[in-house]
Amino acid sequence: MGGTGIVVGLMTLGYKVMATVGTRITDLTSARGFAAELVAATAVILASGTGIPVSTTHTLVGAVLSVGLTRDITAINLMVVVSIFTS
């Protein structure tokens, strides 16, 4: 059932989520994308190891925001961030 839910989610609105995280929050180069994925994966592994339930999507959004903040606050599209937080 879980796999079916993932497939349905990807087929319906998953492409919008991927586009938002990958391109609309901040500009990601290969190195920045790798750093965001590494941080998100580390956070999920540590949380899972301690028994804390986490959302991988929320973790990745936080990592992408952090990568954007390393450049400057102006590197982040704040309207997209507000939209993410309100939804």
Q: What CA–CA distances, in Å, run from 62 to 6, 27, 36, 87?
A: 21, 15, 9, 15
Model pLDDT, residue 9: 87
Model pLDDT, residue 82: 95
pLDDT in tens, the chain (87 residues): 888 988 998 899 888 988 999 999 999 999 999 999 999 999 999 999 999 999 999 999 999 999 999 999 999 999 999 999 998
Concatenated DSSP letters of 37-70: HHHHHHHHHHHHHHT----HHHHHHHHHHHHHHH
Model pLDDT, residue 6: 85
Model pLDDT, residue 15: 86
Model pLDDT, residue 70: 94
27 neighbors 75 (Cβ within 8 angstroms): yes
